[in-house]
Structure 1
């Protein structure tokens, strides 16, 4: 199967990849528009420190998209931040490979 089918990626999200902390706070890379499937559903996820936090939206993008934890993401006009980013790669198995990003 490989990548998520293009017909599923009906939404556009703006991603500013998190690059680290600078002297004046978080620093982000250049804004990139990514095709995605957006699922607005509230769920509990664990952040990088292991704490349970509420995710309001999950975004599914192409596997080669860049959206590390902490990235600033604009979806449906709302600016939010990536809590987790999980690569779902079947390693050649017939699965829909993708990047799953839980947003605040």
Structure 2
């Protein structure tokens, strides 16, 4: 996984409109008109968001007669998941230490130590 590619993917995912577009495309292909329906923005603004997603490799646009469907491309999202997975052990260990500490505090409250 190329780190620069990952940066491009994260930059594309940073915008809530683009994330909403990806969420819609996770349900299946859609036209630009269908993708723009929930947003109060101009066609050129939606097209700009689609261009950013396409340049990041997150979507592709096809051509079927006069219909130009957009579709989700899973590769870059797999790269993001792989990146985040590297930190799972850290999170799991941190939560385990927190659980142990909370249990210690709870036990101490229930049975105070004699000093």
* TM-score, shorter chain, exceeding 0.5: no
Q: Which has the higher contact order (CA 8 A, sep 6+)?
A: 1
Q: When the two structures are superposed, what TM-score results if normalisation uses the length of structure 2? A: 0.26
Structure number with higher helix proportion: 2
Q: When the two structures are superposed, what TM-score results if normalisation uses the length of structure 1? A: 0.28
Structure number with higher strand proportion: 1
